[in-house]
A and B are shown apart, each in its own frame.
Chain A
Amino acid sequence: MTAKDEILNGLANAVVEGDEGKCVEFANKALENNIDAYDAVINGCAHGMSIVSDRYEKNKMFVPEILLSVRAMNRAVEVLSPYVKAEKIKTTGKIAIAVVLGDIHDIGKNLVKLMLQTAGLMVFDLGKDVPPEALQDKVREENVDLVVLSALMITSMMEMKEDVKLLKREFPNVKIMIGGAPVTPKFCDSIGADGYADNASEAIRVAQRLISGERGKKCQQMI
């Protein structure tokens, strides 16, 4: 293992362990050893978060531990980000993310947003309890490729149906991905959304597939 690999692995592990001190230490080591800052963010921090996401999917990590990882990762990113060269940030797609109208449970949305950002996607966060007009405005202003909608409650889940209808009517090319505790692939198909993700790491895969223009699949076939 090269010195560079050791530092990047150390950074990734520090993120997984949620260790703020080690995150700062390895971020500084990366800079001292002339590792490109963007490289450290993507192959250290983001790599660590993808391990975290995998473990959440397998019920080996839970939300308190994930939040520690996020907090630790943010410390490393604070150290690294002043050194990231602007041209390095290649955005492969624009995403608007929101919790639907009538729902204020945003922890899942925040995790998905973070995962999408660490995967190099540009994410506009509209927050929680978001009316359909605000979604439409953002899609229009930013020329968004993908809208990601979250709902935790069965009651608010029905808002997704309205959002999809209105968005598809005005922006037929925009893709829509949905998720949240009560949401199922079957529901996704029934309201005409383009993709469904069961958790944050799956959200990255589905988002990338949708942005790259994969068509013709039903939500139920995407998982």
Chain B
Amino acid sequence: MSHAERIKAAIDFKEPDRVPMFDSMTWSVNMAGKNLDLIGQKVKDVSFPKWIHNPDIFVESQIKALDRFDHDFVHSRMSSHILAEPMGCMEVEPYWGVPATINTAINRVEDWKTLKFPNMDKDGKIPTQLTAIRMLDKELHEKRGDDVFITGFVRGAFTLAEIVLGVERFMFSMIDKPDETRELIDFCNDVSIECIKAQIDAGADHIYTPDPSASAALISAKFYHDFALPAAQKQSAAIRKYKDKYAHHYHICGNTKDRWDDLAKIGASFVSLDYMISLKEAKESIGQKVAIAGNMPPAGTLLLGTPEMVEEEGKQMIRDAAVGGGYIYWAGCDLPIDCPLENLDKFFEVPKVYGKYPIDL
């Protein structure tokens, strides 16, 4: 089966040839230049800022990761704040780490009307990300005839709204000014949908929309239902309308068991779950309604564990969730960039060895 056939079968709850795998995301920075020889060391050949500002280097490293690990998706995210930054948040770019925002774009929820609606061809890192997607599309889809899923990225609209307003103010505003909060989230959604369309136009097959601020670490299931779910549904519908029913990956961090019913209602092609939940339990519950992905502990196992631990836990994930399709193999969240290469090699080897259908583990 090709990459896309494998993914589509899993999403359709059919058993593909083997369990499909999501990609190595930001860890692929280690594939840039001579970085692979410098894992764990302080000085790198290609720094993180250099990586995300140079589509040539970025794309080459993502393709090297794809060639080495043979995952079924390939990534294009330049920054978690691809939209928050051009909307007015200041961003810092550490030498070795993902960019972070250091302030908010607005101080009062009602000021959402003053937020900038970014120009997708000009503002921030959006054009660079679009260029990377076009290059991946040309190299992989056109030249190689590889239908690997090129993954675009925006934040979930609820989380984007939290970032532009600031977490404490956002939490208060949901209680004190719910109508204005919904207007802010809706504006963020409109911005995100414009960016999603630009990425699909550039050649993305698939959009990854993590929504960490909607986790139970911050808000109750009721707040999720009232604020985050409608936003996620709108975003998901827009993605699937513009592309197809395979195009949306919704991710949420933390323990989400109390909101699985709602997560199944988003409409996403699949939902990836963090390591705090039991994949077996998820498979028996939300996993009957929508395809799920996950959930090896990114820090505990992939960063600090051994290849033996990675193998054991990877096999267990397949055992717990892969039978009958509806499962995509991944970590609980983004892979730490300092994960040892031997752990990553083992991580992506497991589905090739133990994830062949019919599953017999």
Interface residues of A (CB under 8 A from B): 59, 61-65, 67-68, 71, 102-105, 107, 110, 129, 153-158, 181-184, 186-187, 190
> How distant is the Cα of A10 from the Cα of B251 in the complex, in angstroms?
42
Check if A129 sits within 8 Å of B102, measured CB to CB.
Answer: yes
Chain B nearest Cβ from A72, distance in angstroms: 12
Give min CB distance, A223 to chain B, whole Å: 14
Complex CA–CA separation, A182 to B337 (angstroms):
14
Contact (Cβ within 8 A) B304 A187: yes
Please state if A59 and B100 are interface contacts (CB–CB under 8 Å).
Answer: no
- Beta-carbon contacts of B171-193 to A below 8 Å, as 1s and 0s? 11011000000000000000000
B216 touches A190 (CB 8 A): no
Is the C-beta of B106 less than 8 angstroms from some C-beta in chain A? no
Which residues of chain A come closer than 8 Å to B36, judged between CB atoms?
none
Contact A154 B100 (CB under 8 A): no
Chain B residues with CB under 8 Å of A102's CB are 94, 97, 100
- Shortest B294–chain A CB gap in Å is 15
Contact assessment for A186 and B300 in the assembled complex, using a CB-CB cutoff below 8 Å: yes
Q: What 8 additional pairs, Cβ within 8 angstroms, besides A156-B97, A158-B338?
A: A59-B258, A62-B220, A64-B219, A67-B171, A103-B100, A181-B254, A186-B300, A187-B300
Closest to A156 in B: B97
B168 within 8 A of A: yes
Tell me which residues across on chain B come within 8 A of A71, comparing CB atoms.
172
A64-B175, A104-B102, A107-B167 known; A154+B298 contact, CB < 8 A: yes
Chain A residues near B298 (CB, 8 Å)?
A: 154, 182
Main secondary structure of the interface of A (DSSP, over half): helix
Q: How far is the CA of A158 from the CA of B98 in the complex (A)?
A: 13
Q: Per-residue 0/1 for B58-90: is the Cβ within 8 Å of any A Cβ (1 yes, 0 no)?
A: 000000000000000000000000000000000
Cβ–Cβ contact B223 & A181, under 8 A: no
6 tightest Cβ-Cβ pairs between the two chains A and B: A64-B171, A155-B97, A62-B220, A154-B336, A63-B218, A182-B299
B202 interface residue per 8 A CB criterion: no
Q: A184–B100 Cα gap in the complex (Å)?
A: 23
Pick the contact of A186: B94, B218, B219, B304 (CB < 8 A): B304
In the bound assembly, the distance between CA atoms of A133 and B78 in angstroms comes to 31
Contacts of B168 in A (CB 8 A): 67, 107, 110
A190 to B306, CA, bound (A): 14
Contact of B299 among A61, A65, A68, A157 (CB under 8 A): A157
Q: Which of B172, B300, B333 contacts A184 (CB 8 A)?
A: B300
Cβ of B164 under 8 Å from chain A? no
Q: How far is the CA of A157 from the CA of B303 in the complex (A)?
A: 11
* CB-defined contacts of A184 to chain B, threshold 8 Å: 297, 299-300
Give 19 A-B contacts (CB < 8 Å), ordered by A residue.
A59-B258, A62-B216, A62-B223, A63-B167, A63-B219, A64-B172, A64-B218, A64-B223, A67-B171, A68-B172, A68-B175, A129-B102, A155-B94, A155-B97, A157-B299, A184-B297, A184-B299, A186-B300, A187-B299
Q: Is the CB of B219 within 8 A of A62?
A: yes
Please report the C-alpha to C-alpha distance between residue A63 and residue B102 in the assembled complex, in whole angstroms.
Answer: 21
| Chain A residues within 8 Å of B223, by CB | 62, 64
Q: Is the CB of B299 within 8 A of A154?
A: yes
Chain B positions 225 through 258: 1 when the CB is less than 8 Å from some CB of chain A, otherwise 0: 0000000000000000000000000000111001
Residues of chain B within 8 A (CB-CB) of A186 are 300, 304
B38 at the interface (CB under 8 A from A): no
Residue from the list B100, B217, B334 in contact with A181, Cβ < 8 A:
B217
Which of chain A's residues have a CB closer than 8 A to the CB of B167?
Answer: 63, 105, 107
